[in-house]
């Protein structure tokens, strides 16, 4: 990654290929001089944030009719003088214009370099820069709200107030320590404990948000669990609407697991069809199957326990017990399948009664998934990423250490050291403290043109 912001960089900012229009961005100190070599008018005479129409030239040779969008720095995405050229798409024109811009002194922008400049020029903090990349890579419409809230700075605002509260306390401690030489106590131990406690609660709330964020990013993981032949693969296929899993009446056909995605009410779900758990005469559930299924159970956010109703409605009780033991908080439902084969099912319980074969009752599964997913409060969640979550956990640890030290009657200078390190973690999240290595990591998976 280039950290030198004195060069003028350019890149295609729309996807390459056949398209009506392509956009090329040119940003840096020399953006206006460079574009001027290819126009028959002086761009510096145009007002900022206006569009001009013209012909892009290579000396006297016309290349394309273009629109030129002008931004005077610092009022641009990068904070520098910026030109956005709208030209015709396809394989030839955008490439030719880029070549000419490079010949006139521009450098090819690296992936993420425009956003890096925006960060270095104080247009975005690091959480906002990360949100830019999130918005581009979103998989689920439900995650959009969280990502855009992060982009406009709501998360930064809350983090900043956590930092301010921590800083206030830190300053008190320094003062308190200075006064303690004169036997004056500025902050009572009780007050310290209350304040530290409040800080840790806020951090915990953010960290909890990370769990929701994971679901928002990758969708709900819906595990189909059941004994062999219960009809898991049939339901999996019926739900996805196409044959993904091999359906057969030979137990163990589904050896590994198969995943399929679907979107319901704007939420992303990954269905996981598993190998059947084998019943044995001695052990209720086969040993090998257990270890394997346990890991899938722990990973799931919603579990559908598929029961073959012809074996009795309670036949899969041991699976329910397993789920409750392995993942106590997971949302699960018991699906009574093969209802076409029984004369009268009670249908009085909370269970979902279906027939995968006759494609009957599937809608009840869909609405169960939708209702359950909506219970996850995504409207207040921030789209935290792993980097931010790890740092928040470090913050929490420092605050909790300070709490223990306060209760142990430690002097405020010692507490201040913990608060200092807590403050640094927030600085790293927001990017007020950074290293080149950190920026390389953050911007490494940006796409070209962003
Ligand atoms: N009659 C009936 N048969 C079903 C139903 N669902 C699945 N089956 C049959 O049960 C057998 C096992 O189904 P499969 O989906 O492979 O079960 P899995 O082992 O749980 O994945 C197949 O012969 C399916 O055709 C159903 O609702 N009604
Ligand atoms: Mg199967």
Give the number of the atom of ligand 1 that is nearest the alpha carbon of residue 356.
27
According to the model, what pLDDT value does residue 417 have? 94
Q: At which residue do the structure tokens 């890149």 appear? A: 11
Q: What gap in Å lies between CA 265 and CA 220, rounded to an integer?
A: 13
Length, in residues, of the chain: 450
Residues 152 and 31 in one domain: no
Q: Which of 230, 231, 258 to mutate to test the pocket of ligand 1 (most atoms within 8 A of CB)?
A: 231
Query: What is the Å distance from ligand 1's center to 313 Cα?
Result: 16
Q: Which of 234, 247, 338 to mutate to test the pocket of ligand 1 (most atoms within 8 A of CB)?
A: 234
Give the H/E segment covering residue 51. strand 50-58
Residues 348 and 240 in one domain: yes
Identify which ligand lies nearest to the alpha carbon of 249: 1
Question: Would 439 be classed as within a structural domain?
Answer: no
Q: What gap in Å lies between CA 332 and CA 322, rounded to an integer?
A: 12
Question: Would 157 be classed as within a structural domain?
Answer: yes
Give the number of the atom of ligand 1 that is nearest the alpha carbon of residue 358.
27
Residues 287 and 397 in one domain: no
According to the model, what pLDDT value does residue 142 have? 74
Q: How many helices (H) and strands (E) does the chain have?
A: 14, 12
Residues 325 and 398 in one domain: no
Q: What gap in Å lies between CA 332 and CA 324, rounded to an integer?
A: 9
For the chain, what is the radius of gyration of the CA atoms? 29
| 279 within 8 A of 349, measured Cβ to Cβ | no
Residues 149 and 165 in one domain: yes
Give the H/E segment covering residue 180. helix 154-180
Query: Could you write out the DSSP letters of every residue in 312-379?
Result: -TTTTHHHHHHHHHH-TT-EEEEEEE-GGG-S-----SSPEE-BTTTTBSHHHHHHHHHHHHHTS--S
Question: Would 281 be classed as within a structural domain?
Answer: yes
Give the number of the atom of ligand 1 that is nearest the alpha carbon of residue 339.
27
According to the model, what pLDDT value does residue 71 have? 98
> Which structural domain, as residue segments, surrounds residue 90?
9-123
User: Which residues does residue 107 pair with via DSSP β-bridges, in sequence order?
Assistant: 9
Give the number of the atom of ligand 1 that is nearest the alpha carbon of residue 236.
15
CA atoms 332, 334, 338, 339: torsion sign = negative
Last residue of a domain, one of 90, 123, 156: 123
Give the number of the atom of ligand 1 that is nearest the alpha carbon of residue 235.
15
| Residue 424, Cβ density class (10 Å: 0-12 exposed, 13-18 middle, ≥19 buried) | middle
Which alpha helices (H) appear in 181-277, and where do they start and end? 189-218, 232-240
Query: What is the Å distance from ligand 2's center to 278 Cα?
Result: 12
> Cis peptide before 74, with omega less than 30 degrees from 0?
yes
Query: What is the Å distance from ligand 2's center to 263 Cα?
Result: 22
Which tokens in the block code for residue 209? 């948000």
Query: What is the Å distance from ligand 1's center to 55 Cα?
Result: 66
Q: What gap in Å lies between CA 137 and CA 143, rounded to an integer?
A: 10
Q: Which of 356, 359, 364 to mutate to test the pocket of ligand 1 (most atoms within 8 A of CB)?
A: 356
Residues 224 and 370 in one domain: yes
Q: Which of 223, 225, 226, 229 to mutate to test the pocket of ligand 1 (most atoms within 8 A of CB)?
A: 229
- Beta pairing class for 352-353 and 331-337: parallel
Q: Which of 223, 247, 257, 279 to mutate to test the pocket of ligand 1 (most atoms within 8 A of CB)?
A: 247
Q: What gap in Å lies between CA 134 and CA 378, rounded to an integer?
A: 16
According to the model, what pLDDT value does residue 416 have? 92
Low-confidence ranges of the chain (pLDDT < 50): 279-285
Q: What is the per-residue pLDDT across 183-235, written as a single tens digit (0 to 9) for each?
A: 666 678 888 899 999 999 999 999 988 888 888 887 889 999 999 899 999 99
Identify which ligand lies nearest to the alpha carbon of 229: 1
Torsion angle of C-alpha atoms 120, 9, 446, 135, degrees rounded to 10: 80
According to the model, what pLDDT value does residue 280 have? 45
Number of folded domains in the chain? Answer: 3
Q: Whose CA is nearest to atom 16 of ligand 1?
A: 247
Q: At which residue do the structure tokens 């740092």 appear? A: 391
In Å, what is the CA distance from 66 to each residue of 22, 38, 44, 70, 98?
10, 11, 17, 13, 13
Residues 321 and 413 in one domain: no
The CATH number of residue 77's host domain is: 3.30.1360.120
Ligand 1 binding pocket, CB closer than 6 Å: 226, 228-234, 247-249, 253-254, 276, 337-338, 340-341, 355-357
Which tokens in the block code for residue 155? 């998360």
Query: What is the Å distance from ligand 2's center to 103 Cα?
Result: 60
CA atoms 401, 402, 407, 413: torsion sign = positive
Q: At which residue do the structure tokens 């006759």 appear? A: 358
| 269 within 8 A of 263, measured Cβ to Cβ | yes
Identify which ligand lies nearest to the alpha carbon of 306: 1
Query: What is the Å distance from ligand 1's center to 363 Cα?
Result: 18
Residues 209 and 152 in one domain: yes
Residues 45 and 143 in one domain: no
According to the model, what pLDDT value does residue 291 have? 66
Give the number of the atom of ligand 1 that is nearest the alpha carbon of residue 360.
27
Query: What is the Å distance from ligand 2's center to 328 Cα?
Result: 25
Residues 232 and 363 in one domain: yes
Identify which ligand lies nearest to the alpha carbon of 248: 1
Query: What is the Å distance from ligand 2's center to 283 Cα?
Result: 21
Q: At which residue do the structure tokens 């899993």 appear? A: 245
Which alpha helices (H) appear in 121-153, and where do they start and end? 126-137, 144-151
Spatial strand order of the sheet with 17-27 comes to 50-58, 61-71, 82-90, 17-27, 9-12, 107-108
| Residue 92, Cβ density class (10 Å: 0-12 exposed, 13-18 middle, ≥19 buried) | exposed
Look at residues 332, 289, 337 and name the one whose alpha carbon lies nearest to residue 312.
337
According to the model, what pLDDT value does residue 215 have? 82
The CATH number of residue 293's host domain is: 3.40.50.300
Report every protein residue that has its C-beta within 5 angstroms of ion ligand 2. 232-233, 254
Question: Would 442 be classed as within a structural domain?
Answer: no
Question: Would 75 be classed as within a structural domain?
Answer: yes
> What secondary structure letter does DSSP report for 310?
G
The CATH number of residue 168's host domain is: 1.20.120.430
Q: What gap in Å lies between CA 376 and CA 212, rounded to an integer?
A: 7
């Amino acid at each position: 990654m280039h950290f030198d912001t004195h060069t003028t960089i350019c890149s295609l900012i729309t996807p390459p290929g056949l398209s009506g229009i392509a956009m090329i961005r040119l940003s840096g100190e020399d953006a206006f001089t460079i574009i001027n070599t290819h126009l028959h008018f002086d761009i510096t005479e145009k007002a900022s944030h206006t569009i001009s129409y013209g012909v892009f030239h290579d000396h006297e040779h016309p290349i394309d009719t273009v629109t030129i969008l002008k931004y005077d720095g610092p009022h641009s995405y990068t904070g520098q003088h910026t030109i956005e050229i709208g030209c015709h798409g396809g394989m030839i024109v955008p490439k030719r214009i880029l070549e000419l811009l490079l010949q006139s002194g521009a450098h090819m922008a690296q992936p993420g370099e425009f956003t890096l400049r925006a960060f270095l020029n104080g247009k975005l903090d690091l959480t906002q820069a990360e949100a830019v990349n999130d918005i581009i890579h979103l998989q689920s419409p439900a995650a959009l709200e969280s990502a855009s809230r992060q982009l406009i700075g709501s998360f930064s605002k809350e983090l900043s107030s956590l930092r301010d509260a921590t800083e206030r306390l830190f300053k008190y401690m320094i003062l308190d320590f200075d006064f303690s030489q004169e036997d004056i106590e500025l902050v009572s131990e009780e007050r310290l404990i209350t304040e530290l406690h409040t800080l840790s609660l806020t951090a915990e709330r953010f960290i909890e948000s990370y769990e929701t964020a994971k679901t928002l990013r990758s969708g709900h993981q819906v595990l189909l669990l059941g004994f062999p032949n219960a009809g898991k693969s049939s339901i999996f296929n019926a739900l996805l609407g196409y044959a993904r899993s091999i359906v057969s009446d030979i137990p163990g056909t589904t050896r590994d697991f198969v995943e399929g995605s679907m979107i319901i009410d704007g939420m992303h779900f990954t269905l996981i069809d598993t190998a059947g758990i084998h019943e044995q005469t001695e052990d209720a559930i086969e040993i090998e199957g257990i270890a394997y299924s346990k890991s899938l159970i722990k990973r799931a956010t919603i579990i559908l326990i598929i029961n073959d109703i012809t074996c009795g409605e309670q036949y899969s009780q041991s699976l329910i017990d397993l789920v409750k033991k392995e993942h106590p908080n997971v949302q699960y439902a018991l699906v009574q399948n093969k209802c076409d084969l029984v004369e009268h099912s009670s249908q009085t319980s909370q269970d979902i009664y279906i027939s995968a074969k006759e494609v009957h009752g599937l809608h009840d599964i869909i609405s169960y998934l939708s209702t359950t997913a909506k219970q996850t409060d995504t409207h207040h969640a921030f789209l935290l990423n792993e980097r931010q979550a790890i740092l928040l956990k470090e913050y929490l640890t420092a605050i909790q250490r300070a709490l223990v030290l306060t209760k142990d009657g430690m002097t405020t200078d010692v507490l201040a050291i913990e608060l200092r390190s807590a403050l640094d973690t927030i600085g790293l999240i927001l990017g007020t403290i950074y290293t080149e290595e950190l920026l390389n990591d953050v911007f490494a998976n940006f796409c070209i043109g962003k």
